[in-house]
A = this chain, B = another copy of it.
Amino acid sequence: MPAREEKMALDLGPAAELEPELAAYFEKCREKLGFVPNVLQAYAFDNAKLKAFVLMADDLMLGDSGLSKLEREMIAVAVSAVNHCHYCLTSHGAAVRQRANDPVVGEQIAQNYRAATLPGRQKAMLDFAVRLTEAPDKIEAADRQKLREAGFSDRDIWDIAAVAAFYNMSNRLAAAVDLRPNTEYHFWVRERPPAQAARGESRAAAAPQATQRQASGAGRRRRRA
């Protein structure tokens, strides 16, 4: 059994020789994040598995969607909170703080999304994601209808469902192998914003609409898994 300082509790042997496309992807992670997320390193024992995971994760989290990238991260975190997933709460909690540019809101959703001050659209989105996590067998037409009433299209509903479902997979894989998050995530976007510091307020309280802003710009674009 590997030591717990390792990336995970399974010994899968040496990493595979990465296909050029995947090697380039890892290199881009190192450039932009300063490290390769451990989930990717965990999958790196097998090119086919790594490739399928990267394609699915990136399409879901970074592809075109009626959901902002921040909203998709919020779903990831709300689902991971139900499943108490250390890996995803750490990595995607960091992503929510970064995309919202708010050191508080990621914590709130990681602890209990009901404690975050969210617009009705996002509350409905997380209500659905959490119910789908807790009781998938009880989803009925009325649950989808609430999303439509909150302004989501059927295409958006697919995306909410697909992201919530994906993290129910990732949470379980991470739990099964005791996947350890890169320590760096803990330190992302933890500083009190200057204006706020002066006022003694959190940014989330001062500007709840921040949670709706979508992170953008080449400099902040980061690939996450």
Interface residues of A (CB under 8 A from B): 1, 4-5, 9-13, 45, 48-49, 51-53, 55-56, 59, 63, 81, 83-86, 89-90, 103-104, 107-108, 110-112, 114-115, 117, 128, 132-133, 136-141, 144-145, 154-155, 157-158, 160-162, 164-166, 168-173, 175-178, 180, 183, 186-187, 190-192, 196, 200-202, 205
- Return chain B residues, CB-CB under 8 Å to A141: 1, 9, 178
- State which of B1, B63, B172, B175 has its C-beta within 8 Å of the C-beta of A48: B63
Check A111–B133 contact: CB distance below 8 A: no
What 6 additional pairs, Cβ within 8 angstroms, besides A10-B155, A86-B115, A104-B183?
A1-B145, A9-B144, A49-B59, A52-B52, A83-B136, A183-B196
Nearest CB in chain B: distance from A63 CB, A: 6
Nearest CB in chain B: distance from A61 CB, A: 12
- State which of B13, B48, B162, B172 has its C-beta within 8 Å of the C-beta of A55: B48
What number of copies of this chain does the assembly contain? Answer: 6
A168 to B172, CA, bound (A): 8
Check B186–A157 contact: CB distance below 8 A: no
Q: Is the interface of A mostly helix, strand, loop or mixed?
A: helix
Check A138–B114 contact: CB distance below 8 A: yes
Who on chain B is nearest to A175 by CB?
Answer: B136
- State which of B1, B111, B161 has its C-beta within 8 Å of the C-beta of A177: B161
